[in-house]
Amino acid sequence: MSGLSFTSASAAVQSAGSPSFLGCTHALRSRVQGQRRATQLRVVSERVLIANTKGGGHAFIGLHLAEQLLQAGHEVTILNDGDEGKQTKKAPYNQYASLKEKGVQIVWGDPSQPEVLPSTDFDVVVDNNGKTLEVCKPLIDAFKGKVQHYMFVSSAGAYNANSVEPMHVEGDPRKSSAGHVAVEQYLASEGLPFTIFQPLYIYGPHTGKDCEQWFIDRVIRDRPVPIPTPGMQLVTLTHVEDVASMIAAVPGNQKAIGQTYNICSDRQVTFDGMTRLTASALGKTPQIHHYDPKAVGLGKGEGFPFRTVHFFASSDKAKRELGWQPKHSPAADIGSLVEAYKQSGRDKADIDFSVDDKILSASK
């Protein structure tokens, strides 16, 4: 038998019908409806132009950003630098056909040339193309006073290296010689409603530049992996979907105007650690070979494709102000990265290891 007596049940029914109860219920219903209306008001369709680069580690940001902006209900146009016939034969541009099917407009031409700019009016511009003021200034000037938000994808590489406190935080000293910094300063001086993003190393599908592939190339072939000593340097590797999700969260967010955000995973990995993660995913024993880059005598750009010092940053500001959270980490993704590598057929490709051999020979 129920523990609620007839008397108490009747009192409960009477209480539910009382003015005070009904008043509370009405207030709660009004609050919920108000929250729903606020949520609906925040979902505003913006017309977004992505100026995208024709190569490098940022090239696939445009592809993934367009996907996420579409999912958020925005209208998207990509203005991509380069020749369409050549670019669409390789990643990430060979994926643009799928974007077109979803309604993205693709325009080819140099974003620094005003005559190639689409005649459409835009609410938001995302400059993921330029690295210097010479390249970026024409696009900035073309949209000055015409857009609600101008976003610039800069680089955390413009931070001054700090051997005492190596984790980069927004506001840390930047290299005055870096082209990105001149662009950032120009945006501020011209009074544009800007937001600046500073990615580090990026990995993930349809990349145009090696990241995790460098480690897999060597481990999967049972080759020694030449790592600059000591191998314990901390680095942030961030999935491109996390990079895109932060940028996609900003259109329509007035609080982000005038702000700078590091885009990076909240987990770091060492170079030795990345090698071990790769080996574990392949069921192999890693062969790590430490060497002193200065002693080997390599030319500029030869050998290890990453900085040989700590290179990581804090993304706490974006978490706090944008409500952004990364969903990926190299440790969680390494299995799928290895599988994607195999599916691409790269495990059967002829890779040039001549610089590796030079390092191994010089540092025995």
The tokens of 149 are what?
A: 């938000």
Distance of CA 151 to the CA centre of its chain: 13
pLDDT at 36 over 80: no
pLDDT at 324 over 80: yes
Q: Mind listing the pLDDT tens digit for each residue in 88-135?
A: 999 999 999 999 999 999 999 999 999 999 999 999 999 999 999 999
pLDDT at 41 over 70: no
The Cα 75–Cα 45 span in angstroms is 7
Q: Mind listing the pLDDT tens digit for each residue in 134-147?
A: 999 999 999 999 99
CA torsion 46→263→203→233, rounded to 10°? 180
Tokens 């840390």: give the residue: 172
Return the pLDDT at 24: 44
Name the average pLDDT for the chain: 90
The Cα 127–Cα 81 span in angstroms is 11
Q: Mind listing the pLDDT tens digit for each residue in 56-99?
A: 999 999 999 999 999 999 999 999 999 999 999 999 999 999 99
pLDDT at 232 over 90: yes
pLDDT tier for residue 326 given thresholds of 50, 70 and 90: very high
Q: Mind listing the pLDDT tens digit for each residue in 263-295?
A: 999 999 999 999 999 999 999 999 999 999 989
Return the pLDDT at 158: 97
Return the pLDDT at 323: 97
Lowest pLDDT segment from 24-28, 75-79, 91-95, 165-169:
24-28
pLDDT at 26 over 60: no
The tokens of 174 are what?
A: 């930047």
Return the pLDDT at 28: 41
Half-sphere exposure of 129 (CA within 13 A, CB side): 27
Return the pLDDT at 297: 87
pLDDT at 31 over 70: no
The tokens of 350 are what?
A: 């002829």
Return the pLDDT at 286: 97
The Cα 346–Cα 349 span in angstroms is 5
Q: Mind listing the pLDDT tens digit for each residue in 249-269?
A: 999 999 999 999 999 999 999
Alpha helix (H) ranges present in the chain?
Answer: 6-16, 19-42, 61-71, 84-87, 96-101, 133-143, 179-189, 212-219, 240-248, 271-282, 293-296, 316-322, 330-343, 354-362
Return the pLDDT at 5: 36
Return the pLDDT at 13: 35
pTM, to two decimals: 0.87
User: Which architecture, in CATH terms, is 44-362?
Assistant: 3-Layer(aba) Sandwich (3.40)
Taking the domains of the chain in order of start, what are their residue ranges? Answer: 44-362
Residues 6+ apart with CB under 8 A from 221: 347, 351
Tokens 């209480």: give the residue: 15
Q: What percent of the chain has pLDDT over 90?
A: 85
The Cα 289–Cα 303 span in angstroms is 13
Return the pLDDT at 363: 81
3-state secondary structure 192-260: CCEEEEEECEEECCCCCCCCHHHHHHHHCCCCCEEEECCCCCEECEEEHHHHHHHHHCCCCCHHHCCEE
Return the pLDDT at 43: 52
